[in-house]
A and B are shown apart, each in its own frame.
Chain A
Amino acid sequence: ETGVTQTPRHLVMGMTNKKSLKCEQHLGHNAMYWYKQSAKKPLELMFVYSLEERVENNSVPSRFSPECPNSSHLFLHLHTLQPEDSALYLCASSQRRTGSAQPQHFGDGTRLSIL
């Protein structure tokens, strides 16, 4: 039990489909993150939701759209994706406190394949 649960674990979709990735954290944290992990590249931070503030990496295409309805749930909505978007998408959460750093806890990811 990692405390951070991602569904689905695997997703295959065509370029014209619309799908959503879901993340749920059971740790009482106040910040959640989406990362992309591609082969032979470092993990790339896509979006952060922290204390109801959204921070995003400006290089993330608009075909990725995050949603954070509450502090425990995070979604990544996908539409008209490209083959290069095939990757492992990881969700993480952490507790943000002023003056101290807390480790991020990760889910097991969704392996996304674009046909």
Chain B
Amino acid sequence: KQEVTQIPAALSVPEGENLVLNCSFTDSAIYNLQWFRQDPGKGLTSLLLIQSSQREQTSGRLNASLDKSSGRSTLYIAASQPGDSATYLCAVAGDGAGSYQLTFGKGTKLSVIP
């Protein structure tokens, strides 16, 4: 059974810092990995999706990397802003017939201090 772990559970940084969020998964047979953002009382917003054949994806100040063989992904946020404060969730899609079924980590709660 796939398990996804996110470290740290919470992170507080001053505005302007670069930061890295970590995600690890136990079964490397994945179809893709996605990073989501969740604001309080809201649903999830998809940030980046990395196919299993890719190494990284970039969108603006966000860069996500994937090392499938070691079961790890990182989300790099450059020049953090207070508006980046949210919970960041990592999710993996299994290989094969269940490729659309996501397994989530518990998330990292990020606070960016002005």
B28-62 interface bits toward A, Cβ cutoff 8 Å, 1 = contact, 0 = none: 00011010100001111110010100000000000
**Chain B residues closer than 8 Å to A50, beta-carbon distance:** 100
Asked whether B46 lies within 8 Å of A101 as measured between CB atoms, the reply is no
Q: Tell me if A22 counts as interface (CB < 8 A to partner B).
A: no
Q: Tell me if A90 counts as interface (CB < 8 A to partner B).
A: yes
Give the A interface residue count (CB, 8 A). Answer: 28
Chief secondary structure at chain B's binding surface: strand
Q: Tell me if B64 counts as interface (CB < 8 A to partner A).
A: no
Shortest beta-carbon distance from B5 to chain A in Å: 10
State the CA gap A6–B104 with chains docked (Å).
21
Nearest CB in chain A to that of B45: its residue: A106
**Chain B residues closer than 8 Å to A100, beta-carbon distance:** 51
State the CA gap A89–B85 with chains docked (Å).
22
Check A101/B32 contact, CB under 8 A, given A43-B89, A48-B100.
Answer: yes
The interface of chain B, by Cβ under 8 A from chain A, is 4, 31-32, 34, 36, 41-46, 49, 51, 89, 91, 93, 98-107
Asked whether A42 lies within 8 Å of B99 as measured between CB atoms, the reply is no
Check A45/B99 contact, CB under 8 A, given A90-B43, A103-B46, A106-B44.
Answer: no
> Closest 8 A-B residue pairs measured CB to CB?
A106-B43, A103-B46, A43-B104, A106-B44, A101-B32, A42-B104, A108-B43, A103-B49
State the CA gap A102–B42 with chains docked (Å).
21
Among the listed B46, B49, B106, which residue makes an inter-chain contact with A42, where contact means beta carbons less than 8 Å apart? Answer: B106
Nearest CB in chain A to that of B44: its residue: A106
State the CA gap A37–B107 with chains docked (Å).
12
Among the listed A4, A6, A101, A108, which residue makes an inter-chain contact with B41, where contact means beta carbons less than 8 Å apart? Answer: A108
Asked whether A96 lies within 8 Å of B100 as measured between CB atoms, the reply is yes
**Chain A residues closer than 8 Å to B43, beta-carbon distance:** 2, 4, 6, 90, 92, 106-109
